[in-house]
């Protein structure tokens, strides 16, 4: 065959393959879920040791359908945890009076299955506490630890999960492993209860890994009902100017480095226009792995290690001292710390609000991207705290990790509000772009 005919045939073949790929890509729609900010009861959720327990905790929740027939459940979205779990109703009449609509009923699901000890899922090395085997039942047991030192036990199980728009589109449900937790948790009438937690880190048993999702993103709104979670690859966020920072992974395993977390490189911190003179060694993990920077949707506020926090505190106090409505509480009560970690606090006159527009922004600088926290996201009104004639207490939403203590920088979801956050596992990076979430949700709804 003449060379020019061979070349023509190759070009035709490439064109056919390209159009087929485009058609396949176009036919794969991402899954779209509503992301809500909910006030949670103090003991509604179990916490891993690295998690913080807030008396007035706000969590991000998504709604899923689990089991056959499907049971609607509300789960907390947590990029800092691996194992998803559901609070399961008792299997017998004993204790059933404690069951509520927030529990999952495994006996009512025809597709529910316990995970046996011999299963590879029962040998996961990514969980903080490795699974154990119940010798009598030969079922795989898991344990979650609370921040107060108590723990909750349950069994590893599998069932089918129908997520967001996938159910409406008729897509087959995903069979995934999760913890079927048997412990009862306190609830309160003023909180929105949750049936469990959706683990979204990079561990083998996370929902992301089990669903083979190589990219997901979300936008956390400052309004409860305008957030969005997008699972899967999509070109929809192209209207956003995303800046990417690479995920950080040490060359070799380190004892205190969480290798399945979404870790990025923190290069510097700026308060207002002032670039803080923090040594690079303070912002980077040390030889043990302690000091990594994690993006965590399961933690409310942001925590900085002691030296970095001290620099931010000093500069923030210096720049806000001229503001008439703010009186540094530390001048009067040096020992006050909200939730034992937030001690950059102020007195604000009764009936007034902090001058949000005049507060200096706190900007976290990464390799290739930055996260600027300003306005009303900088100060949090401490519930129940009053001084003098009724002055309210407001605290900076950056906490001292050394006081908790945790050995890492943790970027919480409060500082991710109105920010498009994309987790791109294919290319090992996190993308950030400021955006109004209600506008983004509207655009996505129209485009889908």
Pairing type for strands 57-66 and 174-181 reads unpaired
Residues ≥6 apart with Cβ < 8 Å to 315: 271, 272, 274, 276, 360
Q: Which fold has domain 237-447?
A: Cathepsin D, subunit A; domain 1 (2.40.70)
Domains 31-213 and 237-447 share a fold: yes
By C-alpha distance, which of 154, 260, 264 is closest to 209?
260
82 Rama class: left (phi>0) / alpha (psi -120 to 50) / beta: alpha
pLDDT attached to residue 45: 42
337 upstream amide cis, omega within 30 of 0:
no
pLDDT attached to residue 98: 40
pLDDT in tens, the chain (448 residues): 444 433 343 333 333 333 333 333 334 566 777 777 655 444 444 433 333 332 234 568 888 899 999 999 988 889 998 999 999 987 544 333 344 456 899 999 999 999 999 999 998 877 778 899 988 899 999 987 644 444 567 999 999 998 765 555 556 789 999 999 986 443 333 334 567 889 999 999 999 999 999 999 988 887 655 678 888 876 655 667 899 999 999 999 999 999 999 999 999 999 999 999 999 999 999 999 999 999 999 888 999 999 999 999 999 999 999 999 999 999 999 999 998 899 999 999 999 999 999 999 999 999 999 999 999 999 999 999 999 889 999 999 999 999 988 899 999 999 999 899 999 999 999 999 998 887 777 776 644 4
- What distance in Å separates the CA atoms of residue 245 and residue 430, rounded to the nearest whole number? 5
Catalytic (active site) residue 343:
no
pLDDT attached to residue 93: 43
CATH code reported for the domain at 31-213: 2.40.70.10
Selected catalytic residue, list 78, 159, 343, 391: 78
Contact 175, 111 (CB under 8 A): yes
pTM of the model: 0.84
Selected catalytic residue, list 159, 258, 296, 391: 296
pLDDT attached to residue 21: 34
- Where are the chain's structural domains? 31-213, 237-447
Residues ≥6 apart with Cβ < 8 Å to 28: 232, 233
**What DSSP assignment string belongs to 185-221?**
----TTS---SEEEE-SSSTTSHHHHTT--EEEEEB-
pLDDT attached to residue 404: 85
pLDDT attached to residue 39: 56
Catalytic (active site) residue 296:
yes
Give SS3 for 156.
strand
Structure letter (DSSP) for residue 399? E
pLDDT attached to residue 6: 34
Phi, psi angle pair for 352, to nearest 5°: -110, 165
């Amino acid at each position: 065959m003449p060379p020019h005919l061979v070349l023509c045939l190759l070009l035709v073949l490439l064109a056919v393959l390209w159009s087929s790929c485009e058609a396949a890509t176009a036919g794969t729609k991402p899954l779209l879920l509503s992301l809500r900010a909910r006030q949670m009861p103090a003991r509604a959720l179990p916490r891993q040791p690295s998690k913080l327990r807030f008396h007035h905790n706000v969590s991000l929740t998504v709604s899923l359908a689990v089991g056959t027939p499907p049971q609607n459940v509300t789960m907390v979205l947590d990029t800092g945890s691996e194992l998803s779990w559901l609070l399961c109703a008792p299997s017998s009449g004993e204790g059933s009076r404690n069951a509520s609509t927030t529990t999952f009923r495994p006996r009512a699901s025809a597709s529910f299955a316990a995970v046996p000890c011999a299963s590879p899922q029962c040998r996961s090395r990514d969980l903080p506490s490795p699974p154990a085997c119940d010798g009598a039942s030969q079922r795989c047991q898991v344990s979650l630890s609370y921040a107060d030192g108590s723990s909750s036990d349950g069994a590893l199980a599998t069932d089918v999960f129908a997520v967001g728009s996938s159910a409406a589109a008729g897509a087959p449900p995903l069979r995934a492993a999760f913890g079927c937790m048997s412990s009862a948790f306190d609830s309160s009438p003023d909180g929105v209860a949750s049936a469990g937690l959706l683990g979204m880190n990079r561990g083998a048993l996370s929902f992301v890994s089990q669903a083979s999702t190589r990219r997901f993103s979300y936008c956390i709104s400052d309004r409860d009902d305008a957030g969005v979670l997008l699972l899967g690859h999509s070109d929809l966020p192209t209207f956003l100017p995303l800046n990417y920072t690479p995920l950080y992974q040490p060359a070799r395993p380190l004892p205190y480095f969480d290798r399945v977390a979404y870790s990025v490189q923190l290069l510097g911190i700026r308060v207002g226009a002032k670039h803080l003179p923090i040594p690079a060694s303070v912002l980077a993990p040390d030889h043990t792995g302690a000091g990594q920077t994690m993006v965590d949707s399961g933690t409310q506020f942001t925590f900085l290690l002691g030296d970095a926090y001290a620099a931010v505190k000093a500069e923030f106090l210096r720049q806000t001292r001229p503001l008439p409505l703010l009186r540094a509480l530390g001048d009067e009560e040096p020992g006050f710390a909200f939730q034992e970690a937030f001690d950059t606090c102020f007195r604000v006159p009764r009936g007034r609000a902090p001058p949000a527009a005049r507060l200096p922004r706190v900007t976290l600088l990464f390799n290739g991207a930055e996260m600027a926290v300003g306005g009303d996201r900088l100060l949090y009104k401490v519930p129940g705290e009053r001084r003098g004639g009724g002055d309210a207490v407001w605290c900076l939403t950056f906490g001292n990790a050394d006081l908790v203590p945790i050995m890492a920088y943790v970027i919480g979801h409060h500082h991710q509000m109105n920010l498009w956050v994309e987790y791109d596992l294919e290319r090992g990076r996190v993308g950030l772009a400021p955006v109004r979430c209600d506008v983004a949700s509207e655009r996505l709804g129209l485009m889908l």
